Chain A
Amino acid sequence: MSILIDKATRVLVQGITGKTGRTQTKWMLDYGTNVVAGVTPGRGGEVVEGVPVFNTVKEAIAKTGAEASVFFVPPPGVKAAAIETIDAGIKLIVVITEHIPVHDVMEIREYAGDSDAQIIGPTSPGVITVGQAKMGIMPGNMFTPGRIGVISRSGTLSYEISINLATAGLGQSTVVGIGADPVVFTGVSELLGLFEKDDDTDLVVIIGEVGGIQEEKAAEFIDRWMTKPVVAYIAGLNAPEGKKMGHAGAIIQGDGRGTSQSKVAAFREVGVDVAKYPTEVVTLAQKRLKLTNT
C-alpha cells in the first residue's frame, strides 16, 4: 500500500468548516481521497463538500469508521484537538497547521509517545500516496505514480523535486512532508524505516534543510538499517554564513552538527549521493536505480 495511507484509508478532516479546511477537502476529494467525515466542535450536523461534520472525533469514528485525521485546526486549538484525537484511537494524524507554539508540540509529542498514534508535522504539506489518496495541501498535479519514496522537510521542494523526477519517468510511491519546525512529531529516520519495509518503494529521496540534526541522525539510520538506495538534497548550501540556527542538539554536542556541510558530509560518509541542486536529484536517482538493477 506504499506507506501511511492508500485509497481505502478512511480520512477525517478536523477544522473542516474553516476556509482552508473547506477548500482543501474539495481538493482531497477530487484527488480520490476517501474523506468520510469532518469535525468542528459546535458545527455537528453540517455538511461540507458532501462530507458529514461531527462535534467530536469519537462521534465521527462511531458513525463513519474514520481511521486517519488531517488537521486544519487553528494553532491555539491544536493541542486539545490532538489529545482528543489520540484518545479516540486515531492511528495517523497529519498536522498542516503552521505556527503552533513549540511547547505545545513538545507536549503533544510526549503524549503521543505513550500511544500508538503516528503524527506527521506540524507545518506539514501533508502525505500523498500518489494516484491514490492525499491528506494535506500538496497540489496533486505535481506528482506521478511510481516507485520512489520522498521524505521532505520542505513542502514546496517536495513538489519541485517530485515533478522533476516525473518528467524523467521516475514517479513516486508516497511523499511525506515532515515540516521544518524546531520540533517535529515524526523524524526522517522513522519514515526511512517505513519505506525500507515498503514493497512499492525502490529508492528514497530525502529533501533536507540547514538546521537541526535530522539529516545527521538519518545518516546513522541509513548506515545501520537501509538496504534500499537513498539520494538527498539539502537546501541552503550556498547560503552565506552569519547568524546560525540556534539548534539545541548542535549546542550540546558541540560538534558542529546542523550545518549544511555537516549534513552533506554525514550522508556522503554512508554512501548517500547528495545533489547540489534540485534537478540533480533526478540524475543521481537514475544512476542509483541503474546500479541496483544490474
Chain B
Amino acid sequence: MQYHAILIYIMKLYEFEGIELFHAEGIPVPAYALASSPEEAREKAVEIGLPVVIKAQVLTGGRYLAGGVRVAKSPDEVISVARKIFKLSIGGLPVERVIIVREVEIAQEYYLGIIVDGYYGTPMAILSLEGGVSINKIAQERPEVLVSKRISISQGFTASDARRMSREAGLRGQDFTELSNLICSLYNVFRKNDALLTEINPLVRTVDGDYLAMDAKVEIDDSSMYRHTDLSINMQDHISNPLERKAREIGVSYVELDGDIAIIASGAGLGMSSMDIIARTMRPANFLETGGGITADLLYKVMDLVLQKSGIRALFINIYGGINPIHEGAKGVVKYMQEHNVTIPVVAKALGNHQEETWEIFEQHGVHVVKDVSTEKGVELLAHLLGEKP
C-alpha cells in the first residue's frame, strides 16, 4: 500500500539523476552513460572501457536481488547481459533504461545517509562502516557499526559534527578525512534540493584508495518543487502507473488496488478508513483522496479517473464539507454521470457545510445518499445494492 503521503510528498529520483546532483556537490561519482537498448549499452560500454557494471534504472529497491545489476567483461557480454536486464520487471516496473559504469575493485564498502527524523522533526545523518545492504538490515543485525546524529537545520551540519561522527564510528586516516567531507557534501545535496532522503549505498574505497559513490538515492519533497525549477526533472516521468500519473496531474492522491469498488474520499484518513470497512466484505479498487481543493470540475475529473479502471462494480463517495464546498463537488459528480451514462450503483455519504444542498443534487440524479453519520452504514447500503452479504 502506497499512502497519500508518499504520493504527495516524495518524488524518488532515478539513480542517474541522483548522480548528477551528487556530482554538482563535488561527491566523486563514477563516469556513467545512459542507454535505452542493448546495442546502445554496448556502444557506451566500449567508450567507458570494459569491464563494466550495467544497472537497471527503476524507482524501486531490490535491483540487485532481481538481477538488475550485472557485470559484463566483453562487448558481446554487454549485449547479452543488457538483453536480460531489459526484459526484467523489478517490483512490477519495466526496465526502460540502464546506466553503464566502469567496474571498480572494492576494498571497503560504507553507507552514508541523510534522512528526515519525522518524530523529532530534524534531519539526521547516518554513517555505517558496512554498506551494500539495506540500512534497515544493518540497523537490525549490526547496530554496532552504525552511528547517527540529529542535525539542527538552522545551524546546518558542520565539519566538526562530521568529524565527531567519524571518530565515534572509529574511522582513521584517509577514511576519517574522506568520509567526514563526504557526509557534509551529502547534507548539502539534501538541504539545497529540499530532499527527504539522500543516500550513498555503497560508498566504496577502491583498492587504489579512491572513494566513489557507487549508488545515488535521492528523494525530493514534491511540495518544494515550486522553488526548484532549476532541477531539470520531469516529475510525471517518475510515476509508472498511468492512473496515478493522471491523479498527480489533476492534483489528487490515487493508489490503484486490486478490487472493484471505487472510492472517492475528501481526506486521507477517511479514505483509508473507507477502504478498511469496504475490505471487510468486498474489495476496494483504489484509494483516492481529494484533499481540500474540491470544485465541480475537480470531482468531474476524479469521476473520470476512478471509473477508468475496468470492472468497477460500484462507487462509494465519502466527503465532508469543512474546507470543501461539497455541493459544488456534487454538481461535478452528477454532470459526469449524466454525460457518461453511469449505471453502476453510486452511494454517497456527504456531511458538513452545505450537506442538505449536496444531498438534493445527488438524489435528483440517482445517487444513493446515506444520511447516517457512519461510514459503516454507507458501506452496508452499497453491499445491499450489490446483493452482497452485509
The residues of A with any CB-CB pair to B shorter than 8 Å are 20, 24, 27, 75-76, 96, 98-103, 105-107, 109-111, 125, 137-139, 141-142, 152-157, 159-160, 163-164, 167, 180-185, 187, 207, 209-214, 217, 235-249, 251-255, 277-279
* Selected contact of A110 from candidates B3, B6, B153, B223, CB within 8 Å: B153
Contact of B194 with A248 in the complex, beta carbons under 8 Å: no
Within 8 A of A (CB), among B22-73: none
10 A-B pairs whose Cβ atoms sit less than 8 Å apart in the complex: A96-B323, A101-B224, A102-B221, A125-B322, A155-B320, A156-B266, A156-B267, A167-B373, A210-B1, A252-B117
Q: CB of B104 within 8 A of chain A? A: no
Q: Which of B81-89, B161-169, B269-277, B329-337 contacts A (4 or more CB under 8 A)?
A: B269-277
Task: For the complex, give the distance between the alpha carbons of A139 and B373 in Å.
Answer: 14
Chain A residues whose CB sits within 8 angstroms of the CB of B292 once the complex forms: 20, 98, 137
Q: A182 touching B116 by the CB < 8 A rule?
A: yes
Residues of A within 8 A of B148 (CB): 252
A75 to B227, CA, bound (A): 11
Pairwise interchain contact A138-B1, C-beta atoms closer than 8 A: no
Contacts of A181 in B (CB 8 A): 5, 9
Instruction: Give the segment of B135-143, B181-189, B359-367 that binds chain A.
Output: B135-143
**B352 (CB) vs chain A CBs: closest residue:** A139
Q: How far is the CB of A78 from chain B (nearest CB, A)?
A: 11
* Nearest chain A residue, comparing its CB with the CB of B134: A251
Query: Provided the pairs A209-B272, A246-B10, A277-B276 are in contact, do residues A160 and B373 lie with their beta carbons within 8 angstroms?
Result: yes
**Contact (Cβ within 8 A) A236 B3:** yes
Q: Mark B130-159, 1 if CB is under 8 A from A, else 0.
A: 000001111110010000100011100000
In the bound assembly, the distance between CA atoms of A241 and B140 in angstroms comes to 21
Q: How many Å from the CB of B295 to the closest CB on chain A? A: 11
For B221, what are the chain A residues with a Cβ–Cβ distance below 8 Å? 101-103
The answer to whether B268 and A180 touch across the interface, beta carbons within 8 angstroms, is yes
Q: A156-B265, A157-B269 are in contact. Are A251 and B136 (CB under 8 A)?
A: yes
Knowing A102-B196, A155-B267, A236-B276, the reply to whether A163 touches B373 (Cβ < 8 A) is: yes
Q: Given the complex of chains A and B, what is the CA–CA distance between A164 and B273 in angstroms? A: 14
What total of chain B residues lie within 8 Å of the partner, measured CB to CB? 70
Given the interface pairs A102-B194, A156-B265, the reply to whether A183 lies near B118 with Cβ below 8 Å is yes
A252 to chain B, nearest CB (A): 6
The CA-CA distance from A181 to B353 in the complex, in Å, is 25
B275 contacts A238, C-beta separation under 8 Å: yes
| A254 & B1 in contact (Cβ 8 Å cutoff) | no
CA distance A212 to B117 in the complex (A): 9
A213 to B121, CA, bound (A): 12
Tell me the smallest distance from the CB of B174 to a CB of chain A, in Å. Answer: 28
Chain B positions within 8 Å of A75 at CB level: 223, 226
Which B residues are in CB contact (< 8 Å) with A154? 267-270, 273
Instruction: Please give, as numbers and ranges, the residues of chain A lying within 8 Å of B6 by CB-CB distance.
Output: 243, 245-246
B375 within 8 A of A: yes
Interface contact B272-A212, CB-CB below 8 Å:
no
**Given contact pairs A240-B1, A278-B374, A252 touches B121 in the complex (Cβ within 8 A):** no
Residues A278 and B376 in contact in the complex (CB < 8 Å), given A110-B122, A153-B269, A248-B124 = yes
Contacts of B191 in A (CB 8 A): 103
Interface 1/0 per residue, B214-242 and A, CB below 8 Å:
00000101011011000000000000000
Report the nearest B residue to A75, measured CB to CB: B223
If A24-B323, A139-B321, A251-B139 touch, does A236 touch B1 (CB 8 Å cutoff)?
yes
Q: Which residues on B sit within 8 Å (CB–CB) of A24? A: 323
